[in-house]
Structure formats: structure tokens, C-alpha cells
Structure 1
Amino acid sequence: MTDKELRWVQKAKNGNQQALNKLLKAHYESIYLLAYSYVKNEADALDVVQEAAYKAVNGMSRLQQEEYFSTWLNRIIINEAKRLLVRRQRENARQTSDEDAMTSLVDLAETQEHDSVLMQEIHGLDEKYEEVLLLFYFNDLAIKEIASVLGTNENTVKTRLARGRELLRLRLIAQGYERQGLK
């Protein structure tokens, strides 16, 4: 976190709305990508970002360590994305029978797949590997920050990152993407 962002966080904690707006704008792209990586569509990602921004505005005074603002904000995004996914699953389950719900979920997953082979393969990994890879490579979080966001220790993050990379490498090779860095 830059010194400028740290000053914005301090001002925002003291109720400066303009500083909080600057912070949220500075982090918008990364939190949107994080939300999108969970919910896998633009409308839901925007809903998650909006709800998380609302919670950040209301909870800013409770942020204990200013230097961990981005970690705190990412945790809010992850929690909101998971909350939305659970709510959608419940809605789908209530609206259709068990058999119809499975068909709807499969159809939904097929229509919302990313065009990118890489993103498809990342999303095909076990959630614990997917989370770590997305936070590390797409949100540029350090291992320590990822451990904080996920509520686990750094060694677990390192292990999941190494295993996730290897699984992703194997999946890409199986898709025919044998480049020098993947062998």
C-alpha cells in the first residue's frame, strides 16, 4: 500500500467521504475481478462490488490496521460473493425440483463460461486452489495477505499455490497448450 493510500485510509476512518471514494476507485478493478472470479457474470459481480462498497463505507471505522485495507476489502468481496452464490443456490432450489435444479445449474455454468481457456481451467480447479491462484495472480496479493484474507496460515497458502500451479499446468497441457514454460 502506498503512502498516499495509507493517508486516504486514515482520513476515511475519520469520516472523510472523499478519501473513501478515492480508495474505492483505486481498488475498483481488482475487487471487480475478484468478485467476477467467484460469481462468473458481470451483473452479479457489480452487485457484489456495490454491496461490499456499502459495507466498507459503514464499517470503515472498525478497520483496525490501516495498512491492511486492501486485504480487509478483499475479504468483504469474497464474503459477499459467497453470500450471493448461496442465496442464488437457495432460490434455484426452491424454484425447481431437484432434477430440474441440476439441469439449470449445468446450463447456467455452460452459458457463463469464460472465453479464456486459462480462466476456464482455473475455475475447474478445486476451490481452495482457485482462490489462491486468483488472489495471487489476478489481485497481486502477497502470500501473507492471502493467508489473512482466507483466514489460514502462510504455509497452507504456499502449498495450495504450488499444487494449484501444478494442477493448472497439467490441465493446460491436456488442452494442448504445451509451451516452453509449461513443460
Structure 2
Amino acid sequence: MIDKDTKLIRKIKKGNQQAFKKLYDSYADYSLRTAYGITKNKADASDIVQETFIKVYRNIETFDMTKPFKAWFYQILINEARRYVKKRNKQTISIESDELLDYLHQHTVEEINYDDLGLTMEQLQESHRTVLILKYLNGFTDKEIAEVLDANVNTVKSRLYKARQQLKAIMGGAADGGQ
């Protein structure tokens, strides 16, 4: 069975602009949330998403139709976000809640208010921050994250574990400050 992304990509490769718009519409929201989660800046996130879609459009011919589009797309998005972060040299995602992981596990992506969540993750390594965003804010599986980051699944699991441990330590310190 052919999924909707594959159908759209086939049409896009044949020059169908409406198919690209449909692809954009289906990925724009989550990609904007992901970019915002990395940069904590709406303008930068918007620029990252725009650049990502430009790269997708320009390189759609090189996409391997035997592989999942979602992983290819997010690989471009994450690389573009990394480029922006490096360029602007700012890593601002804030953490307000010491119940963050429970909160992320208990709420669907649609229920999370990203402005209120305000995660302070600048203390995490970029590789740890990225896996957390992909896992908990985008709902990627460990295998999908590995595909996006072109990494081993065990590396992803290790980064997730370390990131959760670091977050717990950070949030434990924040909890002492009281809320």
C-alpha cells in the first residue's frame, strides 16, 4: 500500500505545485514546532522551516522513494536548525516545570502549550536537546530518530537516557527555587 506522502512526492517529481502545497500543509505545523523548540525564536523557526521546504523542493529528485519521507524531511529540518543555531550561537529552550517528562508523556502534541511549556534546555548538549524534541514533542520512535539523525538506534537510546538524566538534575535544582 502506498502512503499519502509517496503519492504526493510522485506528483511533485512530475512538477505538480498543488501536491507540494499539500505536502507543505501536512508538515508545516510540526516542523515549525520543532524548529521553535530548538531555537525558542518564532522568526528563526519560521526561517528554518522556509529554508527546509526550499531545500526539500530543490532536492526532491534525490529523495529515495524506498525510504520514509518523514525521516528525510526531518533530517533536513534538524540540519537547517543546527546551522541556524550555530550561526546565531544561541541555544534557548527553557524548562519551567520539574514535572516536564511526566507532562510530555501525559499530553498529546495537540494539548501541549509550547509558549507556556517554555523549556530551559540550553544547559543540555545540542544532541540531547534534539533527541528530546523529536521524541517528546514530535512523537518519533527511537528508530525514526536514528534515521533522522543518521545514527545508530542504541546511540539514540543512550542520548535520550542521558538527556532525561540531565533534565532531572536541572529540574531538581529548579525545584529547590520553588514555584
TM value normalised by structure 2: 0.75
Larger Rg: 1
CA drift of 1:115 comes to: 7.6
What does 1:56-95 align with in structure 2 at a 5 Å threshold?
Answer: 56-65=56-65, 67-89=67-89
Q: Structure 1, residues 2-53: CA drift from partner, whole Å, max 9, x if none?
A: 8223322222233222112111111111111121122221111111111111
TM value normalised by structure 1: 0.74
Identity of counterpart residues, as a percentage? 35
Aligned to 2:3: 3
Unaligned 5+ runs, structure 1? 90-104, 178-183
Q: Structure 1, residues 95-128: CA drift from partner, whole Å, max 9, x if none?
A: xxxxxxxxxx7xxx7xx66584454343321222
Aligned to 1:140: 139
CA contact (8 A) 2:94 2:121 kept: no
CA contact (8 A) 1:14 1:61 kept: no
CA drift of 1:59 comes to: 0.9
Instruction: Compare 119-128 and 48-57 and name the one that shifted more.
Output: 119-128
Q: 1:113 to 1:165 in 2, by over 3 A?
A: closer
CA drift of 1:134 comes to: 0.6
CA drift of 1:158 comes to: 0.8
- 1:162 and 1:172 map into 2 onto residues whose CA distance is 15
- 1:116 and 1:14 map into 2 onto residues whose CA distance is 47
What's the Cα RMSD here? Answer: 2.4
The number of residue pairs the alignment matches comes to: 156
Aligned to 1:176: 175
Unaligned 5+ runs, structure 2? 101-117
The amino acid across from 2:30 in the alignment is S
- 2:50 and 2:62 map into 1 onto residues whose CA distance is 19
Runs of 4+ with deviation above 6 angstroms: none
Higher helix fraction: Structure 1 or Structure 2?
1
- 2:31 and 2:59 map into 1 onto residues whose CA distance is 17
CA drift of 1:131 comes to: 0.9
The amino acid across from 2:159 in the alignment is R
Q: 1:8 to 1:22 in 2, by over 3 A?
A: same
User: 1:120 is paired with a residue of what secondary structure?
Assistant: coil
CA contact (8 A) 2:35 2:81 kept: yes
- 1:3 and 1:113 map into 2 onto residues whose CA distance is 34
